[in-house]
């Protein structure tokens, strides 16, 4: 049935692989960085947390150079259709490297994390591994690569979540993340196997071709769709696959919470978009098929449910990390709104929104870490009166939260505006979804503003006499993140242009 | 009668569907973390059977390759999962997931 390849065939395989490697340099570089960090950890003795963090930041920033060089390369499919190089992928490569850098910066500042006896060891190496995995998630064009890169991200994330081994909350978070993650990736895999059975292909553009040419059994396809959605919905943290996220976000070390809520979620969205736009035949191809309608309906329901559930349940939260977890569920809903438009404006809006989400969410978690360093608590009650003691942190947190609500003049406003603009003019149903989005944003105003309210307008019943001054470096980072959030809210043109330029995927025609 | 004498595509798919359902059942009803992980293993192997079957009946090696990667991955996942479960046991003195629930709304 299967014949051994001849010598010439093997030669041609090797040459294809070598040609593909030229387009794969950022990932190869990061894999090397991963190993260097592990060796560095072994070689260095004593207090090495700072050195490891600096090495990781420098190494990650070095990647930006290699990614920048990819702009000159033409769009291509590499490694026998396993992987693609396109503008969409390059956007996410930048995105994940920056997320990784910021996660390392927050980790280096987190005193609780650094005070561990066990040391930071593989922590930074695992962050780099996650960056590689997320990059690969955004660029995979084959079911196999998609699955493997998702698992690379997930396995690193499980370990990072449980990194505070002595702390029950962290271990519990890791267990919950693991159980939900393993089950949903199993469901995703089963869905992939059904798609493979229907089409005999694993490359997503070939799947799309096969489905539109030869048709398919709608029942099996719906089943496969639901299973794949379960796996992807878990990654993006949307209702009804969100059960893990509040507990994991609360229990994980705060830098990892920030990293998961931005990086892992964005990677899930990148994969979802590529899978959705490429593998599913477009209705615009002239075939008004059941499939794309099913996908759209499922995504619409998930999106509306996430917006409503996330924003409403967040109202009762007493822990700031948990509150931000529910807010991130709501944001998954807003991002899905951009995807269901299935056009270029919608994709641009999603990319822009993700960029703004990166700044404001990481910023908010950064301030949570800065405050937790001083008070040792993440409870809303313990934020009372802190605004006067830590004016900079208070002001910055207020800016990030205003941006998360989506009020001008912040970056978050531009993101939401783009999403709602993309929805308008698409039909009645989309208008209703936009309406849900706007109304739930109003609800979110309430719970976000509870935090500044506690910080500035309520007095603490505790003694706040101790020293609340923070270091120069942490002040500088806070200011930079805060200023950028406002700056891009006013001068968003370059980012919007770049998002538009990046809304181009290998094998998908977006109008 | 032929259904019982000749083994075809449907037999394999039925087996895999049963395995998948048993895995889901184990995950949803069991409280022991180890048993849940065994359920996950069943789900992954159900998908593997699907891949191998489709590979046999569709032709081509893609499914075989897929399942080999999945086997390796399942091993890696089991290693990480057991490490986490051992850590849970050290901290909570139990592997009952319903009792490892300190964080509340």
Compute CA distances A457 → A386, A410, A451, whole Å. Answer: 10, 23, 10
Question: Which residue in the set B46, B50, B97 is minimally distant from A175, CB to CB?
Answer: B97
Residues of A with Cβ-Cβ distance to B37 under 8 angstroms: 179, 182
Calpha distance A355→A495 (Å, rounded): 8
> Who wins on pLDDT, A397 or B59?
A397
Residue A235: how many CB atoms within 10 A of its CB?
25
Contact between A41 and A56 under an 8 Å Cβ cutoff? The reply is no
SS3 for A71-126, per residue? HHCCCEEECCCCEEECHHHHHHHHHHHHHHHHHHHHHHHCHHHHCCCCCCCCHHHH
Calpha distance A131→A101 (Å, rounded): 10
Q: Using one digit for the tens of pLDDT, what is the confidence trace for B33-53?
A: 999 999 999 999 999 999 999
**Residue linked to tokens 């489905």:** A211
Calpha distance A211→A275 (Å, rounded): 14
Within the 297-316 window of chain A, which residues sit less than 8 Å (CB to CB) from chain B? 313, 316
8 Å CB contact of A200 and B54: yes
Contact between B48 and A194 under an 8 Å Cβ cutoff? The reply is no
Sign of torsion over alpha carbons A246, A248, A253, A255: negative
Question: Which residue in the set A162, A313, A316 is minimally distant from B84, CB to CB?
Answer: A162
SS3 for A30-77, per residue? HHHHHHHHHHHHHHCCCCCHHHHHHHHHHHHHHHHHHHHHHHHCCCEE
Q: Does B40 touch chain A (CB under 8 A)?
A: yes
8 Å CB contact of B46 and A162: no
Calpha distance A416→A405 (Å, rounded): 9
pLDDT of A118 reads 66
Contact between A431 and A392 under an 8 Å Cβ cutoff? The reply is no
pTM of the model: 0.92
Q: Which residue of A has its CA nearest to B24?
A: A183
Closest CA to A500 of A348, A351, A354: A348
Calpha distance A345→A356 (Å, rounded): 16
Residues of B with Cβ-Cβ distance to A200 under 8 angstroms: 54, 58-60, 62
pLDDT of A282 reads 56
Mutate to test the interface with A, among B35, B70, B94, B98 (most CBs of A within 10 A): B70
Cβ partners under 8 Å of residue A185, min gap 6: A147, A150, A151, A154, A231, A234
Calpha distance A359→B34 (Å, rounded): 39
8 Å CB contact of A168 and B69: no
Q: Between the CA atoms of A273, A279, A280 and A284, what dihedral angle is there, to the nearest 10 degrees?
A: 90
Residues of A with Cβ-Cβ distance to B54 under 8 angstroms: 193, 196-197, 200
8 Å CB contact of A175 and B51: no
Residues of B with Cβ-Cβ distance to A162 under 8 angstroms: 84, 87
SS3 for A199-212, per residue? HCCCEHHHHHHHHH
Mutate to test the interface with B, among A152, A162, A171 (most CBs of B within 10 A): A171
Which residues of chain A register pLDDT less than 50?
A: 284-288
Q: Using one digit for the tens of pLDDT, what is the confidence trace for B8-28?
A: 888 889 999 999 999 999 999
Closest CA to A507 of A2, A64, A140: A140
pLDDT of A285 reads 45
Three-class DSSP category at A341: coil
Calpha distance A113→A52 (Å, rounded): 14
Compute CA distances B64 → A206, A275, B18, B78, whole Å. Answer: 18, 22, 21, 21
Q: Give the CATH fold of the B8-92 domain.
A: Helix Hairpins (1.10.287)
Calpha distance A97→A78 (Å, rounded): 21
Shortest distance between the Cα of A190 and any Cα of chain B, in A, equals: 5
Phi, psi torsion values for A78, nearest 5 degrees: -110, 165
Question: Which residue in the set A148, A155, A190 is minimally distant from B50, CB to CB?
Answer: A190
Cis preceding linkage at A323, omega within 30: no
Given a cut of 90, whether residue B57 has pLDDT beyond it is no
Residue A461: how many CB atoms within 10 A of its CB?
9
pLDDT of A76 reads 81
8 Å CB contact of B102 and A169: yes
Q: Does B1 touch chain A (CB under 8 A)?
A: no
pLDDT of B2 reads 66
Q: What is the DSSP string of A358-385?
A: HHHHHHHHHHHHHHHHHHS--BGGGGTT
8 Å CB contact of A182 and B61: no
Calpha distance B15→A511 (Å, rounded): 44
Q: Which two tokens stand for residue A212?
A: 């539109």
Q: Does A214 touch chain B (CB under 8 A)?
A: no
């Amino acid at each position: 049935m299967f014949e051994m390849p001849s010598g010439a065939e093997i030669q041609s395989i090797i040459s294809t692989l070598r040609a593909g490697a030229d387009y794969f340099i950022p990932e190869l570089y990061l894999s090397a960085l991963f190993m260097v960090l592990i060796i560095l950890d072994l070689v260095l003795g004593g207090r090495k947390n700072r050195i490891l963090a600096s090495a990781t930041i420098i190494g990650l920033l070095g990647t930006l150079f290699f990614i920048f060089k990819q702009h000159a390369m033409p769009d291509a499919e590499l490694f026998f259709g396993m992987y693609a190089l396109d503008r969409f992928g390059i956007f996410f490569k930048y995105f994940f490297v920056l997320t990784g850098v910021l996660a390392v910066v927050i980790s280096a500042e987190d005193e609780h994390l650094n005070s561990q006896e066990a040391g930071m060891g593989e922590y930074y190496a695992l962050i780099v591994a996650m960056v590689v995995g997320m990059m690969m998630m955004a660029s995979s064009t084959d079911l196999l690569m998609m699955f493997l890169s998702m698992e690379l991200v997930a396995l690193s994330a499980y370990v990072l979540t449980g990194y505070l081994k002595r702390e029950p909350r962290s271990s519990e978070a890791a267990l919950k993340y693991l159980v939900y993650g393993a089950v949903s990736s199993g469901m995703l895999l089963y869905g992939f196997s059904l798609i493979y059975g229907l089409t005999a292909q694993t490359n997503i553009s070939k799947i799309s071709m096969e489905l539109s040419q030869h048709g398919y059994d709608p029942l099996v396809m719906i089943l496969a769709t639901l299973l794949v959605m379960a796996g992807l919905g878990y990654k993006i943290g949307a209702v009804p696959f969100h059960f893990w996220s509040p507990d994991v976000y609360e229990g994980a070390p705060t830098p990892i919470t920030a990293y998961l809520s931005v990086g892992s979620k964005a990677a899930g969205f990148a994969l979802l978009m590529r899978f959705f736009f490429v593998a599913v035949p477009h209705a615009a191809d002239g075939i008004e098929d059941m499939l794309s309608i099913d996908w759209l309906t499922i995504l619409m329901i998930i999106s509306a449910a996430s917006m409503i559930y996330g924003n409403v349940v967040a109202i009762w939260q007493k822990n700031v990390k948990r509150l931000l977890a529910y807010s991130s569920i709501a944001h998954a809903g807003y991002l899905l709104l951009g995807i269901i438009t299935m056009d270029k404006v919608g994709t641009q809006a999603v990319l822009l929104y993700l960029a703004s989400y990166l700044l404001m969410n990481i910023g908010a978690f950064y301030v949570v870490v800065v405050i937790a360093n001083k008070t040792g608590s993440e409870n809303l009650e313990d934020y009372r009166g802190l605004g006067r003691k830590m004016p900079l942190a208070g002001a910055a947190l207020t800016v990030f939260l205003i941006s998360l609500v989506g009020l001008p003049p912040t970056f978050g406003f531009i993101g939401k505006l783009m999403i709602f603009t993309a929805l308008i003019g698409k039909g009645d149903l989309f208008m209703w979804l936009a309406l849900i989005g706007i109304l739930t944003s109003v609800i979110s105003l309430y719970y976000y503003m509870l935090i500044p309210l506690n910080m500035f307008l309520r007095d603490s019943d505790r003694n706040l006499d101790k020293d609340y001054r923070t270091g120069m470096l942490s002040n500088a980072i806070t200011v930079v993140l805060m200023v950028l959030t406002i700056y891009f809210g006013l001068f968003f043109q370059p980012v919007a242009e770049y998002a538009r330029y990046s809304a181009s995927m290998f094998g998908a025609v977006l109008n | 009668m032929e259904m019982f004498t000749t083994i075809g595509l449907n037999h394999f798919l039925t087996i895999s569907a049963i395995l998948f359902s048993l895995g889901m059942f184990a995950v949803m009803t069991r409280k022991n973390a180890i048993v849940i992980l065994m359920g996950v293993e069943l789900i992954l192997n159900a998908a593997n059977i699907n891949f191998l079957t489709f590979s046999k009946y569709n032709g081509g090696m893609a499914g075989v390759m897929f399942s080999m990667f999945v086997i390796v991955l399942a091993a890696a996942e089991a290693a990480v999962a057991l490490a986490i479960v051992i850590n849970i046991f050290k901290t909570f003195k139990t592997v009952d997931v319903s009792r490892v629930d300190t964080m509340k709304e």
